[in-house]
């Protein structure tokens, strides 16, 4: 199924039914009085998070969602029938906002979580509500109110504990294949990952976390270069970012320090909050370095990059260093449980 993580929809709630002005007319019942019933309420539109759905593809092509209006009231004290509510199902992790103002209406992070998107109109009052001792035959009734009409933006932000960040071909997909059962495409050309992948990393029988792999960032992503910033939203809910760097690029003219700084700059341009998230440096492709040069080259990179925080040296292809990285991540998540965005 095609992965769609953004959609614009219009939701139109039903109008309330009008009340009615009616009088009781039966044989042998003179002056029966008012008996006009109320109109039925219009249908509302709700949204529910469903863990069995993982894409917004249904809303990319079905853009208008409309609820029915309530029925009009009738005589003989008969009220109009209320319309059925419409329930839209979306993936867990969907954020819904007003497309014009940007106001967040719902952030659905749990299975079964429900939110109101558009409220149906209230039914109008029949004339039986307006009778009094001084007005025995009221002809007044009220129309039903209009239902809400809104243009909404749906954004899917996948739920993961750890996010992988880096240039194309830094080895992110290879790493997620090495530590989980996820099987994203791996090849020797850029942008093999075209949409996010999730993998469950099981450290022990009762200890695990979810890791997310997104397409690589390149310099100029803010201006639309490569795949741009369109997938960075999927790192917004993570508690830890792993910045993978190709320490042994095939292109001799490539500068790993410059590339690593470019990724950080693009992250900062996209979202300051995402830029401030805890971030570890992971130097990958250790297997391509001469064993006698590994330590010196890695120290030189960290010195040139100016990195003083936590760092790891691994080979995602051979698995060297991956176990230590995964146990450190698990320990960090356990110590900082509940601190995610």
Q: If you average pLDDT over every residue of the chain, what do you get?
A: 83
Q: In this structure, is residue 341 part of a structural domain? A: no
- Both 90 and 176 in one domain: the answer is no
Give the C-alpha distances (Å, rounded to integers) separating 111 from 21, 58, 207.
Answer: 46, 18, 21
CATH of the domain at 175: 3.40.50.300
Torsion over CA of 286, 292, 296 and 298, rounded to 10 degrees?
0
The pLDDT of residue 86 is 94
| pLDDT tens per residue across span 102-134 | 899 999 989 999 999 999 999 999 888 888 878
The pLDDT of residue 105 is 92
Q: Tell me the whole-structure pTM to 2 decimals.
A: 0.74
- Both 20 and 140 in one domain: the answer is yes
The pLDDT of residue 212 is 83
Q: What is the CB neighbour count within 10 angstroms for residue 42?
A: 29
**How many domains, in total, are found in the chain?**
2
Give the C-alpha distances (Å, rounded to integers) separating 15 from 74, 80, 279.
Answer: 17, 12, 51
- Both 227 and 307 in one domain: the answer is yes
Residue after which a domain boundary falls, among 156, 190, 205: 156
- Both 94 and 14 in one domain: the answer is yes
Pairing of strands 45-50, 86-91: parallel
CATH of the domain at 145: 2.70.210.12
- Both 106 and 182 in one domain: the answer is no
| pLDDT tens per residue across span 77-92 | 888 899 999 999 998 8
- Both 83 and 188 in one domain: the answer is no
User: Residue 25's domain spans which residues?
Assistant: 6-156
Residue after which a domain boundary falls, among 133, 156, 179: 156
- Both 148 and 168 in one domain: the answer is no
């Amino acid at each position: 199924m095609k992965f769609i993580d953004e959609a614009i929809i219009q939701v139109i709630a039903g109008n309330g039914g009008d009340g009615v002005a009616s009088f009781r007319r039966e044989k042998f019942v003179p002056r029966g009085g008012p008996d006009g019933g109320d109109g039925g309420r219009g249908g509302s539109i709700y949204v529910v998070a469903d863990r069995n759905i993982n894409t917004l593809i249904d809303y990319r092509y079905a853009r208008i969602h409309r609820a029915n209006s309530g029925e009009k009231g009738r005589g003989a004290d008969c009220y109009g029938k209320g319309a059925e509510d419409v329930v839209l199902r979306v993936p867990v992790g969907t954020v819904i906002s007003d497309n014009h103002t940007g106001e967040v209406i719902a952030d659905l992070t749990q299975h079964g979580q429900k939110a109101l998107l558009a409220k149906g109109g209230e039914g109008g009052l029949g004339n039986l509500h307006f009778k009094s001792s001084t007005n025995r035959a009221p002809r007044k009734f009220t129309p039903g109110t209009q239902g809400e009409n809104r243009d909404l933006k749906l954004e899917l932000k996948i739920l993961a504990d750890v996010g992988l960040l880096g240039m194309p071909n830094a080895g992110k997909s290879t790493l997620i294949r090495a530590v989980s059962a996820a099987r994203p495409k791996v090849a020797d050309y850029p942008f093999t990952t075209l949409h996010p992948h999730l993998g469950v990393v099981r450290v022990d029988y009762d200890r695990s976390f979810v890791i997310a792999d997104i397409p690589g960032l390149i310099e100029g992503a803010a201006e639309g270069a490569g795949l741009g910033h369109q997938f960075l939203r999927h790192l917004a809910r993570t508690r830890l970012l792993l910045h993978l760097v190709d320490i042994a690029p095939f292109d001799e003219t490539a500068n790993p320090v410059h590339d690593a700084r470019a990724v950080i700059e693009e992250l900062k341009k996209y979202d300051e909050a995402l830029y401030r998230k805890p971030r570890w440096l992971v130097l990958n492709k250790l297997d391509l370095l001469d064993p006698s040069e590994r330590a010196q080259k890695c120290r030189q990179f960290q010195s040139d990059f100016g990195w003083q925080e936590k760092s790891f040296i691994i080979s995602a292809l051979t698995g060297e260093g991956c176990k230590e990285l995964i146990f450190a991540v698990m320990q960090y998540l356990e110590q900082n449980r509940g601190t995610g965005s």
